[in-house]
Structure 1
Amino acid sequence: MPPPPPPAWVVALNSPMPSLSKNASRIPDPPGYTKTKQRTQTSSSSAPAKPVETDALKLKKAWEIALAPSKQIPMNAIMMYMSGNSLQIFSIMMVFMLFKGPIQGLINTNAAFTKFEAESIRGKLVGVKAVYVLMQLALLALGIWKVNGMGLLPTTRSDWLAWESERQPLERAYFAFT
């Protein structure tokens, strides 16, 4: 007795997909699509880009990277305001992350722009790097504002500062033994 034939789904799974020609699919082209447009798009995409266009694109992408930290300033400012000024693990971690990002960004400034280096745009790239550094410094200033708000900066007189003299009370307390 021969084995039973495999189910239809097994046969369909193991057989190759039938090739559909354009006429067999009978799906009309979308409005505005013609074969001449397809040829011009493929020919223009395969053409090599001019060095001037490449430099302009590199400079545009460099500016996007330079201005990216400025987009973080409003978000971080709201987060720092909402976390409060008390010394809790949440606010301490928020401040730590606020300092960590810009410091790493300042250290890796040249590494962030190495892929955009070219002799023709070297002078313009210096200005882009300067804006990037300014944006990172603005984020650091936000962190300093938060640390000051938490009372961790020694900007006011307090008893724990070593160079301050001992405060003298305005009134003397006298104990009366009666």
Structure 2
Amino acid sequence: MTDQHSDDNKLVAERRAKLDAIRAQCKSNGFPNSFRREAYADDLQSSFAEHEKADLETLGHVVSIAGRIMAKRGPFLLLQDMSGQVQAYASKDTQKDIKARYGSLDIGDIIGVKGTLHKSGKGDLYVNMDEYELLTKSLRPLPEKFHGLADQETKYRQRYVDLITSPETRDTFFMR
């Protein structure tokens, strides 16, 4: 158990160092509030699910979304907002820019993304990032995706973590 706490403390210290570096670079306080979201993930999924890959490319629909990074798979980031999830694609140039500006983005960070809608080869909707902005740096790691939040005591004491990680809890919360 002590090893787990020391690992968590090291991770938090690394993330705090990243935040300090961001604040040193940034003219404001490191938590911008000028980003304007124009769409929610679920609205995009429902509105553009029927469009073919070629149709979306010719349409060139530009969207602006914001969400928490729930997973990173190569150049793809899985963003979750209050309505659902959508992927964001970072080209090699964008990835280099992210590294230069922020060190790297961590799971749990909240970012704003502006770009054109596309579909992957598997038919998943994604936003090709033209512009992005780190809105909030996550200092504490989220629970593992596979195991989730298993401790009932933690679920009760840290409801915010349970709401982030569990879609069922989030749905119940909105229903009430």
Q: Which has the higher contact order (CA 8 A, sep 6+)?
A: 1
Greater Rg, structure 1 or structure 2? 1
TM-score, normalised with respect to structure 1: 0.23
Higher percent of residues as strand: 2
Greater percentage in helix: 1
TM-score normalised per structure 2: 0.23
